[in-house]
Amino acid sequence: QVQLVESGGGLVQPGGSLRLSCVASGETLATYSIGWFRQAPGKEREEILCITSLNGITTSADSVKGRFTISRDNAKNTVYLQMNSLKPEDTAVYYCAAGQRCLGTFGSWGQGTQVTVSS
């Protein structure tokens, strides 16, 4: 199965930007739908954005509309999450996951990367 590794998290001030990467190994990402999820302490894990193998995009979190963008580069076997205008409530562990469809079960998950938005 495909293995996923997230990177790019860190500490950023409110209003700042981060670009998260989800790099696949063992198998190409081209045929998978890839979702970005996040989980803050004491909160349920939520799906943020998902991109299909045909580059259809689903925005599941209204709070990120206009601020976050998901994209893929199949040549690099990588999916990105560009996060702009970050807010303290964006603080969470961010995960990427691969599945057959965005509105379904994701079978492969990365280890997560911490994003902290604080002044």
User: CB of 53 within 8 A of CB of 33?
Assistant: yes
To the nearest whole percent, how much of the chain has pLDDT over 70? 100
To the nearest whole percent, how much of the chain has pLDDT over 90? 97
Angle (CA) 78 5 76, round 5°: 20
Write out the two tokens for 119: 């002044």
CA gap 53, 72 in Å, rounded: 9
Phi then psi for residue 13, to 5 deg, are: -80, 155
Looking at every residue in the chain, the average pLDDT score rounds to 96
pLDDT score at 1: 83
